[in-house]
Amino acid sequence: MEWSTCSVDDCEARIKPGNTLGRCYEHRGLCWGDEPPECGEPGCGKTLHRDNSTGFCHEHRKEYRDTYNRDYYQRTQDEQRKRSRMYREEHPDEHRAAASAWNAANRMARIAADARRRLAAVAGMDDFDRELSVAYRLAIRDDPCFYCRAPETHHVDHYFPLAKGGNDMWFGLVRACQQCNNAKYTMCGTAFLLLTGG
């Protein structure tokens, strides 16, 4: 790899080929001019290097990154879900292998998540409600997918997801194919039908 030297007179410090300023670490501040840039966090006042692309010092950069990532995810979550669904459809074996590997490596986390899910499912239900739920599951086992009408179904889905306060009451249970159940994730059934045009 060929290294060049700092462009400041009498400085023989070597700089990496990717250095866009042409100055070493010690002299890079000379690019500032009369008014050096400061951190964008109110009240911070720390001076930044000119090649700082975030506009924040090291201390406040993480908060900026987290906020930016959150906003970016909110703007693109539909597109990311669509891409994720397409990947699962095109590479089912790889997706299944990755999920199995994660479950094996995080066994206790999986057990805890399943326990929380079971508790949320039966919250506010008495013995009679649980009996009705079991009977209804048996009654709808041959039904087509509620969302896409596919004849082959593998799952009983909670129309109102447990993650958003749903429970295991019989009137909130529908049959779903694996593809629709995975794509629905934690969405309400109505929102999923509006999204897919079902």
Domains of the chain: 125-198 (1.10.30.50)
- 174: helix, strand or coil: strand
pLDDT in tens, the chain (198 residues): 567 888 777 788 888 777 766 777 667 655 555 566 778 788 887 877 666 667 778 778 777 788 888 888 888 888 888 888 888 889 889 988 988 898 889 888 888 888 888 888 888 888 899 899 999 999 999 999 999 999 999 899 999 988 888 888 999 999 999 889 888 888 899 989 988 876
Nearest residue to 15 (alpha-carbon basis) of 67, 51, 58, 59: 51
Q: What pLDDT is stored for residue 1 in this prediction?
A: 54
Are 157 and 181 within 8 A, CB to CB?
yes
- 157: helix, strand or coil: strand
Give the start-end residues of each E strand in the chain.
4-5, 14-15, 155-158, 173-176
Give the span between the Cα atoms of 9 and 7, in whole angstroms: 6
